[in-house]
Amino acid sequence: MIFGLFTILYTYRFFELDPTKWWFWMLLFLADDFSYYWFHRTAHNVNWFWASHVVHHSSQYYNLAAALRQTWTGNLTGSFLFWAWMPLAGFHPVWVLFMQQISLIYQFWIHTETVHKLPRPLEFILNTPSHHRVHHGSDLKYLDKNHAGILIIWDRLFGSFQPEQERPTYGLTKNMSSFNPIVVALKTWGELFKAAIHSGSFINAINYFIQPPGWSHDGSTKTVKQMRQNSKNN
């Protein structure tokens, strides 16, 4: 379905990009990685996308098996829209989906504690096991940091970079109590809809879907930004 949608968008492309040229592949790589960064950052800052992405952060261990914890609902709820501009820019849908898979394969190996640090030039440019361990940490200073796919430079440019200092505590700020894959895949969605239904107003209900994780209409739970502000005040 996504390939079909991207194919329709491609018929309205603004540019003709030639895949036989070397620069096409550089542009394709950068466009995909840039799109992934903003999807990933949004998935940590908008409940609608977090409810799907939370699956990937549900493990309290950090290993290659954790990399395989992937959402069942991500594309159904619109994560593909972050790449929808690429067919319009002239990238054929085949190459868009191909580069997405390259990114996903790259991100598999960085889910490990076996590799400590790569040489400094690589740590500066690439998303590495060290950088991604931070991303999976539930410690306050590590929350919502290092959203990179392949290049960590996006986090450095847009202010979401955090170096690894001590070993992270992996998992969620409130971990799931089940290993049932159906529960892990759908629990957060259920909680989100339940909170919206009992929120007291239509505006509050909408906010539960568009606000960051932890937002509540009555202040009973806190967002990462609010937790950091409280930590500073204390």
Helix axes 2-10, 93-109, angle to 10 degrees: 130
| pLDDT for position 233 | 84
HSE value, Cβ hemisphere, 13 Å, CA-based, for 223: 18
Residue 205: inside a domain: yes
Instruction: Specify the length of the chain in residues.
Output: 234
Do residues 92 and 193 both lie within one domain?
A: no
- Structural domain of residue 225, as residue ranges? 181-233
Residue 224: inside a domain: yes
| pLDDT for position 153 | 98
Are the beta carbons of 84 and 21 closer than 8 angstroms? Answer: no
Residue 36: inside a domain: yes
pLDDT band at 134 (very low <50, low <70, confident <90, very high): very high
Domain boundary among 93, 114, 135: 114
Average pLDDT over residues 116-130: 97
Do residues 12 and 109 both lie within one domain?
A: yes
- Condensed to tens digits (0 to 9), the pLDDT of residues 180-189 reads 999 999 999 9
- Condensed to tens digits (0 to 9), the pLDDT of residues 144-158 reads 999 999 999 999 999
The number of distinct structural domains making up the chain is 2
Residue 149: inside a domain: no
Tokens 């799931």 identify what position? 176
* Whole-structure pTM value: 0.95
Residue 146: inside a domain: no
| Confidence check: pLDDT of 200 > 80 | yes
Average pLDDT over residues 123-142: 98
Do residues 109 and 186 both lie within one domain?
A: no
Do residues 6 and 108 both lie within one domain?
A: yes
Residue 152: inside a domain: no
Do residues 106 and 6 both lie within one domain?
A: yes
